[in-house]
Amino acid sequence: MAAVMGDRGVLGVLGGMGPLASAEFIKNIYAQRRVDREQDMPRILLDSDPMFPDRTRAIRSGVDDYLKERLCARLAGLTRQGATTTVVTCFTAHHFLPEVEPVLRRNLVSLVDVTLDGLVSAPGRFLLLCTSGSREARIFQNAPSWPAVESQIVLPDSRDQELVHQMVYRMKLHGPMPGIVPTIDLLVQRYDCTGVVCGCTEFHLVSGALAARYGEANVIDALRSIVIGLPELLGDRRSHSGPEHATTR
């Protein structure tokens, strides 16, 4: 018997930071579902809001009240519309999530936690690809599970970090440009790594190409992990899913 539409969870996605990455995330959710009818696909609420202030700039300047207020308002809106699980598709924005009301964080999936959980069972050395804002705010290092995986993560030097940061901003506007994957490959070789950590959601745009190059186990992408584990997250066990790495906080 088909499930009643209302008895399944609803995914709320706060995106637009940048828009192409959050759109790709939702496209991949639907592309990878194995169901018999479209009515069995998950319900997703997307609030794609490119008007959020630049997160790295807000971290550096300390002028972040408007960003926090907008974050709270958008998450509250998704909750009011029925989201039972929420994802903020921007790692750098996770720096501001502790300022969000506890009721709005209750069902929030932390991309940082999903990422670090994915590293626990992944042997090798992984180059962290993230914005300079995330690096400066120590978003990953401040997570409780960081000590367990710290030895596996390689941080690029200041010059290469700026290169990674600029890659992010180019992909925000132009998507997965042809030179992105070769540039990442040069960095992986330079730092003698076996794979990468997609520590910015823009790298979700190229994580499939990276997985084809290094192998699935050597590309840690929180959004891909959520795509795989979404049925469990939404309380829908009728669909096939792979290993679940998603956690809430």
pLDDT in tens, 80-93: 999 999 999 999 99
| Cβ 89 vs Cβ 223: under 8 Å | yes
Distance CA 71, CA 67 (A): 6
Distance CA 174, CA 22 (A): 14
Domains and CATH numbers, the chain: 5-111+224-233 (3.40.50.1860), 112-221 (3.40.50.1860)
Q: How many CA atoms lie within 13 A of 55 on its CB side?
A: 30
Distance CA 141, CA 146 (A): 6
Give residue 23's identity as a one-letter amino acid code.
A
Judged against a pLDDT cut of 90, whether residue 33 lies above it is answered with: no
The per-residue pLDDT for 6 is 52
Give residue 208's identity as a one-letter amino acid code.
G
pLDDT digits (tens, 9 = 90+) for 174-194: 999 999 999 999 999 999 999
pTM: 0.91
Please list the alpha-helical segments (H only) found in 89-179.
Answer: 102-105, 111-120, 132-137, 146-149, 158-174
